[in-house]
């Protein structure tokens, strides 16, 4: 079995590759190492994976490649013949989508179309792709469930992720491609992105700088620890969906099911936490108090998220459950070691 992972130098991709290397899976990884955030962190992740591969004597190869380059992407599939694909490469971020929409169109739509088309041509056994809790948009009916409408995104990033889900379903239907989409909920942990709240907060607190708290501290997020995400992904890779025409009622369709071999799952901690509490836990771990500047909700931001993991648990007998007290402590320990603080 050969697994291809896109976005392997990204946060989730790195942790997945680390886990798969330890399992001695045959692993092909691609990343474009763009400068959306600190490239040094991405290079450090890649270096760590290379050392892990030597340690476990694995079969891992990293290629620098942009998924928007369809010709080079096809060459990778032709050379390595992957059986499974985990597509995690994307342009992330909500606020950045207001500034640079072209990046989201190119990476999240054109790039994903390339992945779908090439996976179809190579008859991939299972394609997993990253969606996002952002697709729930203006929905205030929480916890979010997969059978709810996701027709009202409130930022371009969310719109591209919903588009990915629709594009994937088309390919699953037309070409009988087994595809699973995962709606991630605010993922955090060691090696996390420096543009995410936890990294921004810890840096500001340690430097005695003001931290901006949007929503006046009343915003709520379903913070999900990275190890839980990876456990879920590993279980999903070999859990291949099959079509079920008999169980799907086309006269009364539900968004959480399909006649095609296609599934969508939430993957969150199933518990919303106040952003203000999240900061309090971070303060306790650091032994430092934050200087806070309360601001209203920013354009394009959701006020609250919370995941229902019922379908996921039924499918793979697992759901995330790491308390933020444990997860934030592990992040702080890593941050101090990595940045030598």
pLDDT for residue 214: 86
Give the pLDDT of residue 245. Answer: 73
Q: Which of these, 189, 167, 175, 176, lies nearest to 264 by C-alpha position?
A: 167
Residue 20 in domain = yes
Q: What is the CATH number of the domain that holds 88?
A: 3.40.50.720
CA nearest to 7, candidates 136, 132, 126, 108: 108
Taking the chain (341 residues) in runs of 10, the rounded mean pLDDT of each run is 96 98 95 95 97 94 97 98 97 90 96 98 98 95 95 96 98 97 98 94 95 88 98 97 81 86 96 94 96 89 94 96 97 96 88
The reported pLDDT for the residue numbered 300 is 86
**Using an 8 Å Cβ cutoff, are 178 and 127 in contact?**
yes
Pairing verdict, β 26-31 and 59-64: parallel
Q: What are phi and psi of 5, to 5 degrees?
A: -120, 125
What distance in Å separates the CA atoms of residue 89 and residue 168, rounded to the nearest whole number?
A: 15
Under 8 Å between Cβ of 49 and 60? yes
Give residue 68's Cα distance to chain centre. Answer: 19
User: CA-to-CA distance for 233 and 86, rounded, in angstroms?
Assistant: 9
Q: Is residue 42 part of a domain?
A: yes
Domain for residue 200, yes or no? Answer: no
The answer to whether residue 192 sits within a structural domain is no
Residue at 216 is within a domain: no
Token output for 35: 């400068």
Q: Which of 37, 136, 157, 335 is catalytic?
A: 157
Residue 283 domain flag: no
Phi and psi at 170, nearest 5°, equal -60, -45
- For residue 96, give its domain range: 2-187+224-270+302-322
Q: 3-class secondary structure for the chain?
A: CEEEEECCCCHHHHHHHHHHHHCCCEEEEEECCCCCCCHHHHHHHHHHHHHHHHHHCCEEEEEECCCCCHHHHHHHHHHHCCCEEEECCCCCCCHHHHHCHHHHHHHHHHHHHHHHHHHHHCCCCEEEEEEEHHHHCCCCCCCECCCCCCCCCCCHHHHHHHHHHHHHHHHHHHHCCCEEEEEECCEECCCCCCCCHHHHHHHHHHCCCEEEEEHHHCCEECCEEHHHHHHHHHHHHCCCCCCCCCCCCCCCCCCCCCCCCEEEEEECCCCCEEHHHHHHHHHHHHCCCCEEEEECCCCCCCCECCECCHHHHHHHCCCCCCCHHHHHHHHHHHHHHHCCC
Residue 173 lies in a domain: yes
**Residue 48 is a catalytic residue:** no
Conformation bin of residue 9: beta by default, left when phi > 0, alpha when psi is -120 to 50: alpha
Per-residue pLDDT at 251:
83
Largest distance between two CA atoms of the chain: 61
Report the predicted TM-score, pTM, of the whole model to 2 decimal places: 0.96
Instruction: Assess if residue 281 is contained within a domain.
Output: no
Number of domains in the chain: 1
């Amino acid at each position: 079995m050969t697994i291809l992972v896109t976005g392997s130098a990204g946060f989730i991709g790195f942790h997945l590759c680390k886990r798969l290397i330890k399992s001695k899976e045959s692993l092909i990884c691609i990343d474009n190492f763009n400068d959306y955030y600190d490239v040094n962190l991405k290079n450090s992740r890649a270096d760590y994976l290379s050392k892990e591969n030597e340690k476990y004597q694995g079969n891992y190869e990293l290629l620098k490649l942009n998924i928007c380059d369809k010709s080079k992407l096809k060459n990778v599939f032709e050379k390595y013949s992957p059986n499974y694909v985990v597509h995690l490469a994307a342009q992330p971020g909500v606020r950045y989508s207001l500034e640079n929409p072209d990046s989201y169109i190119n990476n999240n739509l054109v790039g994903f179309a390339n992945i779908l088309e090439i996976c179809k041509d190579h008859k991939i056994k299972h394609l997993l792709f990253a969606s996002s809790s952002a697709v729930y948009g203006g929905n205030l009916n929480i916890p979010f469930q997969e059978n709810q409408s996701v027709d009202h995104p409130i930022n371009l990033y969310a719109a591209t992720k919903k588009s990915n889900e629709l594009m994937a379903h088309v390919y699953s239907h037309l070409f009988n491609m087994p595809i699973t989409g995962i709606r991630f909920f605010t993922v955090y942990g060691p090696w996390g992105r420096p543009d995410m709240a936890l990294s921004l907060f810890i840096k500001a607190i340690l430097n005695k700088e003001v931290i901006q708290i949007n929503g006046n501290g009343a915003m709520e997020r379903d913070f999900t620890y990275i190890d839980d995400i990876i456990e879920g992904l590993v279980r999903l890779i070999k859990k291949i969906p099959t079509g079920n025409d008999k169980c799907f009622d086309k006269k009364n369709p539900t968004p959480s099911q399909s006649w095609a071999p296609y599934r969508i799952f939430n993957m969150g901690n199933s518990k919303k936490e106040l952003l203000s509490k999240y900061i309090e836990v971070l303060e306790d771990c650091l032994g430092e108090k934050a200087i806070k500047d309360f601001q209203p909700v920013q354009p394009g931001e959701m006020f609250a998220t919370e995941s229902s993991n019922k379908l996921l648990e039924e499918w793979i007998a697992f759901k995330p459950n790491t308390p933020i007290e444990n997860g934030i402590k592990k992040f702080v320990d890593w941050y101090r070691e990595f940045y030598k603080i």
